Amino acid sequence: MYVKFNPSALLPLGLLVSSVLSSPTFPQQQPLGQNDDLSAAIRIHSKKPAVDAESLAATIETENLLKRAKDLYTIAKISELDFGHPTRVIGSRGHVATVEYVKKVLSSLGGYYTLGEQTFPAVSGYIYESRLVIGDTVIPHRPMSLTPPTKNKEPVLAKVVAAANDGCSESDFGEDVKGAIALIERGNCSFGQKSENAGKAGAVAAVVYNNEPGSLSGTLGTPLDHHIATFGIAREDAKPILEQLKAGKEVDGSAYIDSEVNVIRTKNVIAQTVLGDPENCVMLGGHSDSVEEGPGINDDGSGSMTLLEVAVQLTKFSVNNCVRFAWWSGEEEGLLGSTWYAQHLTPEENKKIRLFMDYDMLASVNFAYQIYNATDAEGDPKGSEELRNFYIEGYKGLGVNYTFIPFDGRSDYVGFIEAGIPAGGVATGAEGIKTPEEVERFGGKAGEWYDPCYHQLCDDLTNLDATAWNVNARLVAKSVGKYAESFKGFPERTLESDEVKAERKKSAKKWKYRGSKLVM
């Protein structure tokens, strides 16, 4: 069965969001315009055998996956010219070439897919130098990612004033904060919001101290107009300062951050089958970008190349439901591409996405087969738990053990969950530490990271476990095959009324992370 697909509906024009990001110079979409002969493509491809989970999984060959990883590494090396090492960070030649590579492969598939790309503004930041002295103590700290610099990129000398409460409301900052360094406890709202409130009150810098043991390192997230230079420090280092302030003593400090926050254009690539019911789509995504430090062959070369390989293999079949693949950009800067996409769906377009599956890091060398623990109990959109249960059955069927990990905001499912779309996914682990019990279940080394090269230069061709990749690529193929065949038994989506939407937003869960970075 197929229903004719209107390509212009693929990437709907949406309202632009926040002030910094709303420059009209960023077009929402540029349909690529191939697939001129849509009806011929539909005629040819609909004669193919109908897809199912097992048939699609049977097309996966480790050799094909490894060849794509090699292509990707060659592409990452293009950036050596500018960066001195391979990388596919947004804005680099390596990233641009990654996007071109994905598009080139997809457009050589006989019009099986309609391609779209979505250009959006992405924020990226660099921190060159920072220093924090309070009283006569040099305070160990981490500047928040995406922090603006102190005024004129010079040290500011000011008294230190503690926020009245958690700093989550403007009224937590009194008159005395004007011109001061604001000291704020972590908790209850994002670092970005605390910085914004302190900035609005006229503070010249903000210092957020941890509410649990250890140092504090996070991100301010999307830049806001009043963000000020913001540091994270340990609770232990804040304690003596707070005691002096409580005793009515005046405490002076010097805060300095030299940093840069830039807005660049980057793009998501979207491909949708010309076959299949376009009112009922299974959507999946991986991210096309890496961090600046390295080539990102596991993160997320493994996921994004799995998607590409599954997209290629899917062309051997016809589908009942539409399948939509996404290669997100700006994941490493805070899930920017996927969030942009999900936030710009009209209610009608939103409803067509029956579920979203996130595939980020599928071949970690010290792997565990991890399933995001999306549940009804946590208020995740209806269907997320069904998807989680599908992965349980999927891994069982592949004869391997699995484990649950928190569904806490670390990858590109966030925008979808926030838009009310059921979502889930699997991964093999990043900088978490493998336990002895997990070694019994998965093999590997206890006490070490799942991915020992996570966000480093060594995330290269040697940083892949071929067995784990093969298992996960077959699981991804099963997930596509299953829902492309049928959504039988899977919860329907409904058009939300404004009241329902408002209610859902009110009870929405607060994510601890946005991508790899702590936000609150």
412 binds Zn ion (CB under 5 A): no
299 binds Zn ion (CB under 5 A): yes
Torsion angles phi and psi, residue 398, rounded to 5: -90, 0
Which partner in ligand NAG, Zn ion, none is near 23 (CB below 5 to 8 A by kind)?
none
Torsion angles phi and psi, residue 284, rounded to 5: -145, 155
Which partner in Zn ion, ligand NAG, none is near 404 (CB below 5 to 8 A by kind)?
ligand NAG
Which residues from 155-174 bind ligand NAG, rule CB under 6 A?
165-166
In the bound state with ligand NAG, the residue whose beta carbon lies nearer, of 212 and 498, is 212
Site map (CB under 6 A) of ligand NAG, residues 175-194, x = contact? ----------x-xx------
Query: 300, 380, 418, 438: which one contacts Zn ion (CB under 5 A)?
Result: 300
380 binds ligand NAG (CB under 6 A): no
Which partner in ligand NAG, Zn ion, none is near 300 (CB below 5 to 8 A by kind)?
Zn ion
Q: Is 497 helix (H, G, I), strand (E, B) or coil?
A: coil
Query: What residues contact 424, with CB distance under 8 A and at least 6 apart?
Result: 355, 357, 358, 371, 372, 374, 384, 387, 388, 391, 407, 413
Which partner in Zn ion, ligand NAG, none is near 451 (CB below 5 to 8 A by kind)?
none
Site map (CB under 6 A) of ligand NAG, residues 187-226, x = contact? xx----------------------x---------------
Site map (CB under 5 A) of Zn ion, residues 339-368, x = contact? ---------------------x--------
For residue 152, what are its two tokens?
Answer: 């004129």
Which partner in Zn ion, ligand NAG, none is near 100 (CB below 5 to 8 A by kind)?
none
Alpha-carbon separation of residue 373 from 273, 370, 380, 511 (angstroms): 29, 9, 10, 14
Residue corresponding to tokens 């009283």? 135
Site map (CB under 6 A) of ligand NAG, residues 430-469, x = contact? ----------xx----------------------------
Identify the H or E element spanning 231.
Answer: strand 230-233
Asked whether the beta carbons of 250 and 161 are under 8 A apart, the reply is: no
Find the shortest distance in angstroms from Cβ 182 to ligand NAG. 13
Torsion angles phi and psi, residue 5, rounded to 5: -105, 130
Find the shortest distance in angstroms from Cβ 360 to Zn ion. 4
Q: ∠231-235-241 over CA atoms, to 5°?
A: 80
Find the shortest distance in angstroms from Cβ 305 to ligand NAG. 25
In the bound state with Zn ion, the residue whose beta carbon lies nearer, of 300 and 438, is 300
Find the shortest distance in angstroms from Cβ 420 to ligand NAG. 19
Query: What residues contact 58, with CB distance under 8 A and at least 6 apart?
Result: none
Identity (one letter) of the amino acid at 509?
Answer: K
Find the shortest distance in angstroms from Cβ 157 to ligand NAG. 27
Cis peptide upstream of residue 300 (ω within 30 degrees of 0): yes
DSSP single-letter state for residue 433: B
Q: ∠178-184-185 over CA atoms, to 5°?
A: 165
Strands (DSSP E) contained in 147-229 are 156-162, 181-185, 205-209
Asked whether the beta carbons of 298 and 356 are under 8 A apart, the reply is: no
Site map (CB under 6 A) of ligand NAG, residues 261-300, x = contact? ----------------------------------------
In the bound state with ligand NAG, the residue whose beta carbon lies nearer, of 282 and 374, is 374
In the bound state with ligand NAG, the residue whose beta carbon lies nearer, of 211 and 497, is 211
Alpha-carbon separation of residue 157 from 151, 154, 160, 174, 327 (angstroms): 11, 10, 10, 19, 46
In the bound state with ligand NAG, the residue whose beta carbon lies nearer, of 247 and 377, is 377
Active site residues: 331
**Interface positions with ligand NAG (CB under 6 A):** 165-166, 185, 187-188, 211, 373, 375, 377-378, 399-401, 404, 440-441
